[in-house]
Chain A
Amino acid sequence: MSTPQLSRVRVTRIAEEAVERARLRVVPRTRVRAPKVPFVMLVSAILLAGVVGLLLFNTTMQQNSFAAADLQTHADELRSEQQALQAEIDGLNEPHHVAEEATRLGMLMPVCPRFLYTATNKVTQACDEPATKLPIDAPAQARPESLIPERTVVKVKPKQTTKQADTPKAGATETTRVGSHGVSSTN
């Protein structure tokens, strides 16, 4: 059984040729092969640059770490030096030192204060005592037991056969060791 064929009637239209020209057609696919070498080189270059950069970065960091450690050591030394110099200044400013220097220069300490009023040239009442040296010669401090040497005390027995009771008898000595605070102390 055959299907009746529809005959297509070609109708001439207005500007048929122009329409025919404007109709889109599938063009054949053209394959352009990009060169691989530049891409590979670019990627390689980037990778290389990254690796080298990381290496340099690490190296720099390491060097900085060493430099930081050295600088810290130097800073510690400078701090110690500054502390030592400050201690020296403190020693020079210490009241005993200043007082000793003043005394060495012949300076005296007035007992009472006096004021001169510059507006009236009036001077307050004079002191009833002369100026004196600074009382810096404090007495020796009490020492602990451990710094007091033991004393060797020799007790001498008097001769029994003579009237001279204070004459020691040869060989009749008794030696004991006591602290300086003992009853037999000679200190």
Chain B
Amino acid sequence: MNTRPVSQFRLRFGFLLIAIVLSFYGARLVQLQAVDPANYAGKAHLEGEEKVVLPASRGEIEDRNGVALAASMDGLMVIADPYLTSPKAPALAKLLADRLGIDYFTTLAKLRKTTGDGSRYQILAHRIPATKVRDALAYAKDQGFVGLSTERDPIRAYPLKDVGANIVGFIGQDDKVGPLAGMERTFSQQLAGTDGMARYQAVKGKQIPLADASITEPRDGKPLRLTIDSDAQAFTQWTLAQAVRNWKAASGVAIVMDSHTGELLAYADYPTFDANDPQATSKDYYGSKGVQEPYEPGSVEKVLTLSSVMDSGHATPETRLTLPDVLVRDNWPIHDHGRQGTVKLTLAGVLSRSSNIGTTLSAETMDSADIRDYLTKFGLGQSTNVGLRGESPGIVPAAPWTDITRATIAYGQGITVTPLQMIAAVNTIANGGVRVSPSLIEGSATTNTGAKVGTSEATATRVVSADTASKMARMMETVLDPEEGTAPLARIPGYRVAGKTGTAQVNENGRYLDNLNENSFVGFAPADNPRFTVYVVLRHVNGGAGGLTAGPAFKRIMSYMLRKYGIPPTDTTATPYETTWGGSGTGNLHP
């Protein structure tokens, strides 16, 4: 047998080589297991890990009956890979244009964009309902088209379009910017919720069972329920729009308030916009003019002034006044609209005929600081904190006032208010002398700045006595009297209605303009057991008067509310005060 001797050198060299190689393996093993095992384990874990965002559902904004004013829907964006879509671009563009309602030529250009940035990623459409997209893409796949994909792109829909749009606002196209207007923006944190996250090991998108997985559940946004009645809101908006158009006003506001709770059942601004397509309208109309743009209220203010005078014991509805043709204060003449010569009116007559001179004389029985205190208690000069953006507090000049300032404030010039402040103030009379703060949100909600608003936060403050409120309500009924009042067009046959007209000159750059008025009418019904208070304001009307322009709109809106909520007439007879007086003397109004 032939045996070949093994070279000792070769054997040792071989073993050494093997030992060196094995030592590298050993060193690597030590590195992996001892030096930084967690890092390598993590990298290995990430290889097959899927991260899926679990989207939080944005809270709905709904009306008092649960009708959605803003709702979220599953939506998708459609993405094309032009590298794959360009060969059949015309046919695919036609299919997508037909099925998704997108522009054919824009889509065709994107499907053919095989050069430059985005040559592998072209967004064809944003925020299309998921069902529509899935159907379209399934059909496209059946037809042999390739290169289309989708990504999540939730839709915020406003089913009632322009109804309540000025309150609700809208979310813009850019998610990074966030909601752009209205309550969508004010209560964004509450509505948005927090997205969750699922992490798991997956193969081809399917989870590997028993592998590591973690889920952070999403926290859905809280819904926001408004006090608005969407049907009443729609009717109020239509009626207001018609009034603004008929009288060629620049804008208008109409508000319906529950007389006892202060809840706003309708809050209409005009011009308005479609929340689904806000870009079709100027952004000047996105906000709530009812709280953002203070104005001089005019004669509606007389309700507050005369209530203060009566409540402080300086006069009664029967107090007799002798009104001159002209009253001069601080060298400024004060006139009554449409009246010449001296006239003898009671305090009730001063209100029903809307006498500036009578109101001035009555207000002069009080110290200006006392009148200001009353106006502040009525809620003027301070925000209502109702939850609308950019609310203005208005301006009530600091006391003491000059004689002319006291006079003009008494009849509603030289002071600025918002329609919301004014309806809450006059509603104090409807509510037996107790002012309830207005509410637009049921329950309690927190704004992004941390303020709590809503019916749970509403306050009730007695401003005038129940007796004073009752007397003022009776006085306000006369305002709608065809013979004695300034607003017969606001009457609702069969019902007792209390109201007051307002016709104020527009102040522009410190000068009052001729023939450009702020016309308004505020009232409540039934007068002896109020259920609703309605305020209609038409801004910058060329002439006219509150009873003529805003009165009919008030009548329609109030009638609608009484019918919808089934409020029958009270079957009582009004007992109006005397508005004039005869005999000798100058009356019994004493400072």
Contacts and interface: CB of A to CB of B under 8 A. Distances in A.
A112 interface: yes
Contacts of B95: none
Contact of A69 (B207, B274, B494): B207
B210 A61 contact: yes
Interface string A81-100: 10110110011011110010
Contacts of B285: 141-142
A32 to B, nearest CB: 46
Interface in A101-155: 110-115, 124-128, 134-136, 138-139, 141-147
A55 to B, nearest CB: 13
Given A66-B206, A135-B239, A80 B131 contact: yes
Nearest to B555: A111
A82 to B, nearest CB: 9
Contacts of A167: none
The B interface is mostly helix, strand or loop, or mixed, namely: mixed
A128 to B, nearest CB: 5
A134 B235 CA distance: 8
Contacts of B492: 112-113
B144 interface: no
Contacts of A79: 74
Contact of B209 (A65, A94, A145): A65
B281 A84 contact: no
B74 A124 contact: no
Interface stretch (B33-41, B156-164, B384-392): B156-164
A65 to B, nearest CB: 5
Contact of B562 (A61, A113, A126): A113
Contact of B161 (A77, A86, A96): A96
A185 interface: no
Contact of A77 (B134, B271, B281): B134
Interface of A is mostly: helix
Contacts of B231: 95
Nearest to B67: A93
Contact of A87 (B159, B237, B245): B159
A179 to B, nearest CB: 13
B282 A144 contact: yes
A58 interface: yes
A93 B68 CA distance: 11
B568 interface: yes
A62 interface: yes
B134 A87 contact: no
Contact of A141 (B207, B281, B283): B281
A80 B157 CA distance: 13
A65 B238 contact: no
B240 to A, nearest CB: 9
Nearest to A138: B241
Contacts of B280: 141, 143-144, 147
B130 A80 contact: yes
Contact of A142 (B242, B282, B494, B568): B282
B127 to A, nearest CB: 13
A64 interface: yes
B132 A95 contact: no
Given A95-B230, A141-B272, A143-B282, A83 B74 contact: yes
B524 interface: no
Contacts of A127: 493
Interface string B102-133: 00000000000000000000000000011110
Given A113-B562, A144-B279, A87 B73 contact: yes
Interface string B128-164: 0111101000000000000000000000010111010
A84 B569 contact: no
A155 B287 CA distance: 40
B559 A80 contact: no
Contacts of B207: 65, 68-69
Nearest to B283: A144
Contacts of B239: 135
B131 A135 contact: no
A134 B242 CA distance: 10
Contact of A135 (B238, B271, B493): B238
Nearest to A84: B131
A94 B274 CA distance: 13
A157 to B, nearest CB: 36
A90 B68 contact: yes
Given A111-B555, A111-B556, A64 B271 contact: no
B209 A62 contact: yes
B493 A84 contact: no
A65 B281 CA distance: 50
13 contacts: A65-B207, A69-B207, A77-B134, A95-B160, A95-B163, A96-B163, A99-B234, A113-B559, A113-B567, A128-B493, A134-B238, A138-B241, A142-B285
Given A66-B206, A138-B238, A141-B281, 9 more contacts: A87-B159, A90-B68, A90-B159, A96-B161, A96-B163, A124-B569, A125-B569, A141-B280, A146-B279
Report the 4 A-B pairs with minimum CB-CB distance, sorted nearest first: A125-B494, A90-B159, A95-B234, A61-B209
Interface of B: 67-68, 71, 73-74, 129-132, 134, 157, 159-161, 163, 205-210, 230-231, 234-235, 237-239, 241-242, 245, 271-274, 279-285, 491-494, 555-556, 559, 562-563, 567-569
Interface of A: 58, 61-62, 64-66, 68-69, 76-77, 79-81, 83-84, 86-87, 90-91, 93-96, 99, 110-115, 124-128, 134-136, 138-139, 141-147
